[in-house]
Chain A
């Protein structure tokens, strides 16, 4: 398939530009050559994107159970609200008095999220999850530095954590201390007790954890860290399992990030934009990135925290994503938020129970919103790996689950169906998974050859990683 730069011809284009309604200005003379933009006609452009649409798989196409990613369906009303001209035609430098509605949207969603998180304030600046983590851990750093406690140089991260956790801690200048998980996939309390000390800045944790289990010792965990003088950061990756049911703030966490593009149903994947809202308890507010939206005497205004870590992004974050999330929260309401979390957990347990006859589960018992299967036995007996099974699913029009994660589970497939899928669809998917399992024994070569019906067969991941081509090479 041709890229858009390879289509069209010099001088071709769309001629639907409206007349200029602002004074014309001369741009800087520093640019000496013209921007290399595609020269395509309108029909070439729409056909190009239609062709791309036919070759991808998204939540509008079918099941997308990417574990730990919460690929829930994004309601179309969210798009309608984000497209309202009153929102889309704002300029970020407009005076506060002219954007009261937009500030009210921030303030209203902020209030709802504080209630869901059990936090006292939120910043919408971070552009995505890892960026939100970075902001949260910078708050922890600012807290210790402000108190003159400069010996707290270590952040504790469990071995089941998302790779972004140790990366975040390192980016914030901390040394990462990895602690092993217990046999149940939860934090090993003795290992945690041994790891904390006067050099502990904090702990980064997600609960339910990365294997889909709610850590029953969570209050003890946060107490151990607090008793050692550290703070606790909650990775909101798995918030979808608990929103409206339990609150990270009540578990003892001091700050949090949450991905609006996961839990709060805004579009996700394909490069964004996302939103990794960062929340904190009141004692950390003075370090938050500014500005924060406050309401005084019925008027909304920007407030700049006194000891702010500074901006982490220009302006106020991805505003249109905030509008989508606000629409989602308001349309679900208090009861609907809780119901969504409970249905996400119910769906995961339904699939886990149905698949348990054939597949080995990494952890027994009731799970939260996702579960991890381990295909070691299948791999040993048939030669078909988790990757082969995942590729086989593509021929049935399914997006595979997350593969080979978390790293502590071998031949892992991690399934997160989300609350937005029906029992009928999950039954159909379970039948396909079981069929592929049987195929591994009956005709393993067919699975090694899969996929056969997709626009491209197996991608050469090694070549792609060793020889990265990240942009179009103009000749």
Chain B
């Protein structure tokens, strides 16, 4: 399983890639996609909606279960990755390329982990 060094990680298995101080991309980790199994549906967030840290911003569905994607940042949805709607399997194949949402106007960030800390936290 890979956890790129340049990303930050949440304890609820999302990754965050800061583009600048107040803008970031959010997706789910390799661990998350592997635990969920084959993904079949994503209910994408809505552009313009506010996000609150540690609160669900959208949900994804695998053949096993439906899970919330928890947003680690308080801010606003600037953009969503529309391609995922037709191809949720990209989240399995390329979890770090398949960003879900671009968050802007970030006012608060939950305490995030480094790649090494996240690997230790998930013991993998």
Contacts and interface: CB of A to CB of B under 8 A. Distances in A.
Nearest to A461: B63
Nearest to B39: A462
Contacts of A462: 38, 40, 63, 89
Nearest to B88: A466
A461 B38 contact: yes
Interface string B33-75: 0010010110000000000000000000101111000000000
Given A465-B40, A466-B40, A163 B64 contact: no
Contact of A163 (B35, B41, B66): B66
Interface size class of A (residues with CB under 8 A): under 10
A407 interface: yes
A362 B5 CA distance: 34
A407 B65 contact: yes
B65 A163 contact: yes
A465 B41 contact: yes
Contacts of B89: 462
A405 B63 CA distance: 12
Interface residues of B, number: 10
A404 B64 contact: yes
Contacts of A163: 65-66
Nearest to B66: A163
Interface string A402-445: 00110100100000000000000000000000000000000000
Contacts of A407: 65
A465 B63 contact: yes
A410 B31 CA distance: 13
Nearest to B86: A466
Nearest to B67: A407
Nearest to A407: B65
Interface of A is mostly: loop
A462 B62 CA distance: 8
Contacts of B66: 163
B117 to A, nearest CB: 21
Contact of A404 (B38, B41, B65): B65
Contacts of B38: 461-462
Contacts of B61: 465
A163 B64 CA distance: 12
B63 to A, nearest CB: 4
A411 to B, nearest CB: 10
A440 B41 CA distance: 32
Interface string B15-45: 0000000000000000000010010110000
A19 B108 CA distance: 76
A176 to B, nearest CB: 10
A383 to B, nearest CB: 14
Nearest to B35: A410
Interface in A262-315: none
A187 to B, nearest CB: 20
Interface string A447-475: 00000000000000110011000000000
Contacts of A465: 40-41, 61, 63
Nearest to B40: A465
Interface string B75-103: 00000000000000100000000000000
A21 to B, nearest CB: 51
Contacts of B41: 465-466
Contacts of A461: 38, 63
A466 B35 CA distance: 19
Interface string A46-60: 000000000000000
B118 to A, nearest CB: 18
Nearest to A463: B40
B65 to A, nearest CB: 6
B110 to A, nearest CB: 17
A457 B93 CA distance: 25
A163 B35 CA distance: 18
B34 to A, nearest CB: 11
Nearest to A467: B40
A90 to B, nearest CB: 41
A407 to B, nearest CB: 6
A460 to B, nearest CB: 10
A409 B38 CA distance: 18
A405 B62 CA distance: 13
A410 B122 CA distance: 13
A67 to B, nearest CB: 15
Nearest to A163: B66
A165 to B, nearest CB: 13
A330 B65 CA distance: 39
19 contacts: A163-B65, A163-B66, A404-B64, A404-B65, A405-B65, A407-B65, A410-B35, A461-B38, A461-B63, A462-B38, A462-B40, A462-B63, A462-B89, A465-B40, A465-B41, A465-B61, A465-B63, A466-B40, A466-B41
Given A407-B65, A410-B35, 6 more contacts: A163-B66, A405-B65, A461-B38, A462-B40, A466-B40, A466-B41
Interface of B: 35, 38, 40-41, 61, 63-66, 89
Closest 6 CB pairs of A and B: A465-B40, A462-B38, A461-B63, A404-B64, A466-B40, A407-B65
